[in-house]
Amino acid sequence: MSAGLGGAAAIVGIGQTEFSKAAGRSETQLASEAIVAALLDAGLTTDDVDGFVSYTIDPVEETELVRALGTPEVRWSSRVPYGGGGSQGVLLHAAAAVAGGAARVVVAYRAIKARSGERFGRAKVSTRPTSAHSGSTASQWCSPFGVLTPASWMALNATRYMHAFGVTSADFGRAVVQLRDYAATNPNAHFYGRPITLEDHQSSRWIAEPAIRLFDCCQETDGAVAIVITASDRAQDTVAPIEIAAAGNAGLFGEEIASDHYRPNLEVMEGSVALATQLFGGGFTRSDIDVAMIYDAFTPVFLMQLEALGFCGFGEAKDFIADGQISPAGSLPCNTNGGLIGEGYIHGLNLTVEAVRQLRGTAVNQLDGPRTALVAASRTGVILQRPL
Amino acid sequence: MTRPAPTITDDNRGFWEAAHDGRLVSQQCSGCGQLRHPPRPMCPYCHSIEHELVELAGTGTVYSYAILHHPQHPAFSYPVIAVLVDLDEGVRLLSNLVGVEPGDVHIDMPVRVTFDETEAGMAVPVFEPMGSST
């Protein structure tokens, strides 16, 4: 799939609202504001839009969205399951739609009030058996045992990972220090101006011992982001197109999102291994990647994905990070906006926006002329590239 | 408060009804004999929709664990010890470890099943260290 789509579609616009702890308005309004901003960025209007894609878990009704935006005729729409692990799947769907002619201009969006509204991290018992298409059976198999939050679900995998490879909480802390360094110089970040030391990380309270401390958790955030995608031939007329050079989705037998407890070997994120095989099967190599955005809902999965994606060996992410490889001067600067841990949690789609900014040369922590970016979120991912 | 009752579905009912009777069971495919958990309506290996519920020995080892401190729900006492138990028959169960100090929990710890009441008069399988007395 990824090879077939390579270069057929491009991101031509990005937009967002402010990120906050209390947006004070509806998700529909947040989405509408972000979409209008993204279209303005693209030099397009709502009249040009004929496709929408978001996450299955997004609360915005398409009918409400269209009513607010005034788009005259939606010819195609889609939703991607698996929560944040499916976040980059919106680009795969959009690219397939415009490449195949089902739509001409697709808007991908995510609007969320993860702080003032329904908090993922609240201890709540659901009576629904599954997450209703966000990829988890946690409510039926975890709730009766007090395993109520994504952190508690993922900590079970992380503890095993630590045991297998001798990884410590301080190893996670070194990653967080770097992410918070990026966030400290990003005015859009929750943790703008607030870098931390390893000691700060190590003294933050336990959420799920021995894997996840408070500072290992992403920042539940209110806000929205939107991304405009068109076919590459049309994108050539826009100001700053970024090609979707590859897009992949790897959903494996037995895998769940967050409550991924039933694969025999939980020491490795096998979905990410499969994703990398797709993304790097069409001519790209890891050394082509100038900057990476890797879904950091919690620090352990950031390290595990670095390994699964093949940027270092299994168990070696701790050394890769300690050697400074994810820093601006490293071989793979990562999550240069501060990531979901430092900037905020728009469920992974703010990482995509940051990748576009880096490739355009407009990021706040701008690297030196990156041309190729990877955005990876568990089972879904894209390689984005600035045309020469 | 007691722990919340499990959510019963057409696919998981047999597991929870057995737990209510103090038995730990797994689906076993009538076609190919594979054990499987969580329960599901079709065997992913041979596509048989026939299965039996077989009682497991209730013994296994801790594959992984997490000591849950925060956030807290009034139905539970903290810290909650969450465990993934690899049962001797080869299926994995998410549960709690009881009757042990959090600091003594470790991977590969031998454990055995016991049962704990929930709201609505149901029960869930939980685990205690092998050799402990209850």
Candidates B13, B27, B63, B70: best to mutate against A (most CBs of A within 10 A) is B70
Q: How many CB atoms lie within 10 A of CB A249?
A: 21
Model pLDDT, residue A236: 85
Rounded CA gap, B5 and B24, in Å? 16
> Is A345 among the catalytic positions?
yes
Flag whether A188 is in a domain: no
Q: Residue A212: list chain B partners with CB under 8 A.
A: 66
Task: Give me the mean pLDDT over the A369-384 stretch.
Answer: 98
Q: Residue A170 domain-assigned?
A: no
| Residue A294: per-residue pLDDT | 98
Q: Which of A55-59, A83-87, A130-134, B34-38 has the lowest mean pLDDT?
A: A130-134
Q: Is residue A158 part of a domain?
A: no
Report the CATH number that the domain containing residue A96 is assigned in CATH.
Answer: 3.40.47.10
Of A39, A1, A59, A66, nearest to A244 (Cα)?
A1
Q: Considering only CA atoms, which of A311, A310, A244, A317 is closest in space to residue A277?
A: A310
CA A14 to chain centre: 15
Q: Within a domain: residue A364?
A: yes
Q: How many domains does chain A have?
A: 1
Position A68 in a domain: yes
Q: Closest to A140 (Cβ–Cβ): which among B9, B67, B79?
A: B9
Residues 6+ apart with CB under 8 A from A290: A333, A358, A367, A370, A371, A372, A373
Q: Does the beta-carbon distance from B69 to A206 stay under 8 Å?
A: yes
Per-residue model confidence as pLDDT tens digits over B77-121: 999 999 999 999 999 999 999 999 999 999 999 999 999 999 999
The string of pLDDT tens digits covering residues A187-216 is 999 999 999 999 999 999 999 999 999 999
A177, part of any domain: no
Question: What tokens were used for B75?
Answer: 């139905």
Q: What is the pLDDT of residues A265-284, one digit of tens each?
A: 999 999 999 999 999 988 89
Domain hosting A338: range is 2-118+218-385
Q: Are A209 and B37 a contacting pair at CB < 8 A?
A: no
Q: Are A384 and A372 in contact (CB under 8 A)?
A: yes
How many degrees, rounded to 5, is the angle at CA A266 between CA B13 and CA A80?
A: 70
Asked whether residue A135 is domain-assigned, the answer is no
pLDDT score at A84? 96
Cβ–Cβ of A145/B68 closer than 8 Å? no
CB A222 within 8 A of CB A23: yes
**With 80 as the cut, is the pLDDT of residue B134 above it?**
no
Paired strand residues for A378:
none
Name the amino acid, one letter, at B9.
T
- Residue A238: strand, helix, or coil: coil
In a domain, A134, yes or no: no
